[in-house]
Amino acid sequence: ESSITPMPFNKLPESSGNTLYYQSEGTITKEDYTEHLVPETDEVIKEHGKIKLYFDASTLHVSDFEWMALWEDTKFAKTIMTQTLRVAVIWSKNFVLDAVAHLFIGTEVKFFSADQKQEAKDWIENTNES
């Protein structure tokens, strides 16, 4: 009997159009960005122009990121900041991601607690796209 390890960035079924929903779990590596998250977001940007991102990282801790993954996270944020309308992040340690939030210049970034998932979904969906 084999166990299936979940992908660190699981694209959720709510994803549609220019809105991408992800749940993060497990150890996050550089390849999770370069082989999954970046190509998926690039594809949606090419099709729709600007995107909205929802990340449920409520079960993650900074120790779940490999060092090179943290670098890829910073590069990812800087690369897509001009193509991103809003980013909703479900995270139990907001102070950690506040450091990354400033990279999304011109993008609304809002943090939500684990019990505010529906509020985060409502916020990300009710974006005036321009």
pLDDT of residue 73: 82
pLDDT of residue 4: 44
Domains of the chain: 9-124 (3.30.750)
Going through the chain in order, the beta strands assigned E by DSSP cover 9-11, 19-24, 51-56, 84-90, 108-112
pLDDT block averages, 10 residues each, the chain of length 130: 58 94 86 89 94 88 74 81 87 59 68 89 79
pLDDT of residue 80: 81
Residue-wise DSSP of 31-45:
HHIIIIIHHHHHHHH
pLDDT of residue 77: 80
